[in-house]
Structure 1
């Protein structure tokens, strides 16, 4: 059971649980394991190599097999990446010449000639009807024969795997970290928590499970293990019912409830009854999910259980047969009467709601007395608001200093993005500055004061992960809004997808924009080669998996922005295919190698979003001429089919402008509030002898064992409670 969960520990922590087995001379096998890891951009720490070398060869081999499979999947090397043009990036033809060649080959094909001649007579040829278009014309092995071996370079990625503790302890620690997270987990992390809960539900538990979605998957494990679920709101019960039906515990999309066994129905109804009996006002929480509760009632049959009358009240409210006035309706009534002071006074009993309503209250205030009352109410209850809400409001207020009419970007919890002009009246400087000072002071009070704070400068511009959904799972992935350096002469994007049931065509494209966000050019299947680089060729179906690449010479890029995107031309969406992911590699000009070289991969992330156009990140050229990545993790709605870079360039440019010009709260901001005795910017070489609080992109070797380590995988730990 523990071995099955080891890959989760490796992915989340970059630690291999302490290998156990008979002692022996495993040094040769350990060095071979390390060499195999090097080929995919990983290596063993000195401590882990020493531990493996003291074990039997069989133990080392077993550990290597499990770990290599995990890290190869992390970097995207678990599949074969072929290309349409066998010599890519060399010998990529002109687009028009290539299309004419495909037509000529079709005319020479007895089976296709008649159809092509008919199309030519009409003046339009469908590329998908040409036998040689969109399908690999050579095997993966034949493609490898056209490429020289990759030359190692100092800039190649190298991710160190460290020695962990006992397997059970590592699994439990990971469970506690995910279950106790104060920020919502992403889809993959939530699925990992579900797997961990099945083993850990009877063991140590976090003091608090603050995120309701996390509580739902843990409650399912508790119910299956015979333990009572943790319920304190009616929506906790609804989320648990969704989890039991393998539905959406975030309640964003409707769940089709399954038939539930009688013991489960009794547990859910008893839970509802106890929640409402303890706090009848919680019946008001039914209103936002009335339809969901109605459908759940059809499965639970509350009329069969008269011993739980308060549970029956929940469904009576959902059907409109019983009144339960909500807190929000009382607030709206006061605001409808323009009683801003009264609304602020009422909202003090729900501090989180007050802070999320500050902008609206200040805009509605008619005079200085009302604005002062709102600010004073916030000051009185700031200590009762969660750190995540405080940081969100702090970031919001920083961006309210911008002029009216600037682009306003909306991103929902699924990553769907849209833009509109910001026509809101401003939040006046006195109140905005007063509230910013209050927020900074409260956050400073809650943050730890480490004796020695050691910071990797590369992490300072990483955005704070106020939601785990702001970044998908993967390797080298940073939260939305983060900025990271890009070092290398050649930048190569890649996308891989494998269709589940229907022909599916994903198109990788790259849009180049000037400093004013106007289009300079693009690379796509409609423009295979330009001054900036080359496209690997269009693949139009993926029953066995397919890949597309774009190679860019950064020194030749015209303009200031490069925006890679994945367009769904036809077939299954990002959440419907069997697998899909995007990433990028960095190389020196003389490295050569295959189109996909795992140790040059700097980022690989899953594509799992609701739109038909994916925008994983953008690349920005600074005034110093250096390139940086800006992490987006966004999806545009697009059209049902035939999405192309040419058609969405304006919307992409507008969205990019809104994201680039928005101020993000970063690690730099939060570490600036920490009252550390000593703060050191790490030089990448010298490691202090004593314990430190280290914050960086990768954990260095040699840190004192009592050090606190914060890297992207647990960056959420920086968010104060």
Structure 2
């Protein structure tokens, strides 16, 4: 296996593929490797440390260099984090005092003095014109020299790296897991899958690839290797064409198709021809992506290949020369005539579409017979609906108990969010209850049999990852809607960005709200200090990368909610910069150290999304004073420039309220269904909450935040890295 794939295994599984090399006395190097890992919050498992101790020193050192590079990037320690105020969080000045000092220094500068005087006379001073504002006044090394070494604390993060199987086994297993995932992968997951698919194209393949985007990525690798394509719809071919052009396989944004070689054109047209020949009704799918097909046709030249007439029909439909009526249009026609029963019967042939239409059908039903027909159809077709859709609909109806007029949160596939009043009439309780019971029964039926399940209570409030778009790549990142405890006295946010082509200014801010979502205070470049904490200072450009920090004392917080956000003040967007990420650290009250200490990082996530304001997560204080984090992964549209926390307070508060009031299906929901099988005398699943002590000697299914040491090697382990495995097919 190329060492290029080793980091993928480490990042996705927290395992190091079985190290190989000449035997030797590697114990000293292994202990040094372990110590270096601990400085960034990682550690070797006892089994892995023992394995390395029996290898040669050179082998251990080579592995250490590769692995340290990987984990440092995972935690955000691969870049230099400087702070504008060299002593941060100590000696951060009052905002007005700081601005006055910058003006005074500008007046002492012969070059800046005339312009500064002119601005003062006009009554408005642009901070960006002041020489000492917005750029580092010291080097990274000078900043480090001003801070004491970090004193280790019991609460510091320690992520254990375990011993894996052989390199080929680990890479193959990761490929099968990603390709066969029952939920869509995020952008980074698809990129990793593409690399793995190229390596594993001639090896074992998943029994099924249920997610179409995953299939497109796998098909690209198969096409380039000359293997057969996996196609059963015309849209599979369209997605493959997007992958070949480095475009969007989700089809959410238009792809500019590249020129395609003759062999590739032949493969795509032959694939289209076989799909349509086998099922002409699939031409109905063309209309949904009509414009994309027209543009692709200009690259494929189907008229040059008369041997594939069925492929030519696809482009005839796209141009409107041939009719292929879709199921959606026929359903809409029936609903326009208020024929709910007829529309329901028609949708039975497409169980997934029926499930996605249940709320609308029940709202339109005027009689009890119509409502009964809708629910009965759902019960009958449920076995043919994907587990992800069943769970999504179950979560939807769980949140449909409220009255008309409540807030409704919309979040698209890209994470862009907005809120509006919910004007839909309610789903009547009898039908809602009957549907929920049927969906619970269907999920329970699909859950895999396991004699013993060991559950870490810390994972029970983690939301099920019903879509890879509901999370981001990084370390310690949980799906949208998850709730996790926050233990520590000091909470420190950080953002890092590096511009690609033009001056780019990201601003880290934290908004504090009371229990009624009203603004209490905020920390930002316009409010450097508050009772709760300090801001590290405004950096206004990042040609070599830049960081900003916010330090918060949770015990001093006056509000109920803390909402960190990253605002784009100027320049490139989150998807345009060379690199950008957000995270938070937790420290004990007396812990010293640098502004950025990798061992205290609890979460680091990539910032890649639409809009100009990022809302990664929010923190909430309970009545007993404890704090929890709720994961958002949201982006607001914002304005083209000059986004500030002061300008989006109302929209953030409204969105937060909608997110807090929404309840998500969690790991606790699934383990609860598993536990319902106990005591029935049928050998059902036994679910045991793990107390953190000794693990059982035999194999178990372990569900938790991190794999504990000492698990039986035949155990099935589910952690946040592979939580998608809890989603039944």
TM range (shorter): over 0.9
Asked whether 1:127 is paired with 2:142, we answer: no
One of 684, 687, 692 as aligned partner of 1:684? 692
* Pairwise CA distance, 1:684: 1.4
- The yes-or-no answer on 1:704 pairing with 2:712 is yes
- Aligned pairs for 1:512-523 within 5 A: 512-523=512-523
2:600 corresponding residue in structure 1: 600
Which residue of structure 1 lines up, in the alignment, with residue 648 of structure 2?
648
Counterpart position of 2:73? 73
> Per-residue displacement from partner, 1:221-274 (whole Å, max 9, x unpaired)?
101101121111111100111100001111000000010000000111111111
Task: Write the distance in 1 (CA, Å) between the matches of 2:217 and 2:377.
Answer: 36
Counterpart in the other structure of 2:182: 182
Aligned-partner SS, 2:522: strand
CA contact (8 A) 2:492 2:550 kept: yes
Alignment equivalent of 2:724, drawn from 713, 716, 720: 716
Contact 1:149-1:592 within 8 A present in 2 as well: yes
Out of 381-390 and 473-482, give the one that drifted further: 381-390
Q: CA deviation at 1:449?
A: 3.1
- The offset of 1:677, in angstroms, is 3.8
Cα deviation, 1:96-155, whole Å, max 9, x if unaligned, reads 000000000000000100110111111000000000000000000110111111111000
Find the aligned partners of 1:566 and 1:501 in 2 and give their Cα distance: 20
For the residues of structure 1 that align with 2:416 and 2:352, how far apart are their CA atoms?
A: 25
Single out whichever of 600-609 and 620-629 deviates more from structure 2.
620-629
CA distance in 2, matches of 1:164, 1:230: 31
Q: Which runs of 4+ in 1 moved over 6 A?
A: none
Give 1:2 deviation, angstroms.
2.5
Distance 1:80 1:564 in 2: 22
Paired residue for 1:225?
A: 225
- Distance of 2:472 and 2:685 partners within structure 1: 35
Structure 1 SS opposite 2:530: coil
Residue number in structure 2 paired with 1:2: 2
1:99 to 2:107 alignment: no
Match of 2:472 in 1: 472
| CA–CA distance in structure 1, aligned partners of residues 493 and 443 of structure 2 | 39
In structure 2, the residue matched to 1:214 is 214
Question: Is 1:399 equivalent to 2:399 in the alignment?
Answer: yes
What is residue 681 of structure 2 aligned with on the other side?
none
Q: Do the aligned partners of 1:489 and 1:587 also contact (CA within 8 Å) in 2?
A: yes
For 1:387 and 1:581, the matched residues in 2 are separated by 32
- Aligned equivalents of 2:149 and 2:380: distance in 1? 65
1:689 CA displacement: 1.1
* 3-state SS in 2 of match to 1:270: helix
| Unaligned segments of structure 1, at least 5 residues | none
Higher alpha-carbon deviation: 682-691 or 467-476? 682-691
Displacement after TM superposition at 1:404 (Å): 1.4
Is 1:462 aligned to residue 470 of structure 2?
no
Residues 275-314 of structure 1: pairs in structure 2 closer than 5 A: 275-314=275-314
1:613-632 matches, within 5 Å, as: 613-632=613-632
**C-alpha deviation, 1:622, in angstroms:** 1.2
Give, in angstroms, the shift of residue 624 of structure 1: 2.0
| Cα deviation digits, residues 182-222 of structure 1 (max 9, x gap) | 10001101100000011101100000011111111111110
Q: Which residue of 2 aligns with 1:157?
A: 157
On the 8 A contact 1:2/1:171 being kept in 2, the answer is: no
**Greater Cα offset, 519-528 or 226-235:** 226-235
By how many angstroms is 1:671 displaced? 0.5
Deviations 1:349-389 (A, max 9, x none): 11111111000000000111100111111111111111111
Q: Which residue of 2 aligns with 1:564?
A: 564
CA-CA distance at 1:678 after TM superposition: 2.5
Whether the 8 Å CA contact 1:2–1:168 is kept in 2: the answer is no
- After superposition, residues 302-701 of structure 1 pair within 5 angstroms as 302-674=302-674, 675=677, 676-701=684-709
Aligned mates of 1:414, 1:72 — CA distance in 2: 27
CA distance in 1, matches of 2:624, 2:2: 50
Task: Compute the TM-score of the two structures, normalised by the length of structure 2.
Answer: 0.98
Is the 2:233–2:275 Cα contact (8 Å) retained in structure 1? Answer: yes
Matches within 5 A, 1:264-279: 264-279=264-279
Alpha-carbon displacement from aligned partner over 1:66-110 (angstroms, at most 9, x marks no partner): 100000000000000000000000000000000000000000000
Q: C-alpha offsets along residues 446-504 of structure 1, whole Å, 9 cap, x if unaligned?
A: 11232111000000000000001100010000000000000000000000000000000
Deviations 1:152-187 (A, max 9, x none): 100000000000000011000000000000100011
Give the match's secondary structure for 1:650. helix
Q: Distance in 1 between matches of 2:80 and 2:414?
A: 29
What does 1:41-60 align with in structure 2 at a 5 Å threshold? 41-60=41-60
What does residue 680 of structure 2 align with? none
Query: What's the CA shift string for 1:592-638, capped at 9, x where partnerless?
Result: 10000000000000000011000000001112211000000000000
CA distance in 1, matches of 2:238, 2:448: 36
Distance 1:394 1:2 in 2: 43
For residues 561 and 569 of structure 2, the distance between their equivalents in structure 1, rounded to whole angstroms, comes to 24
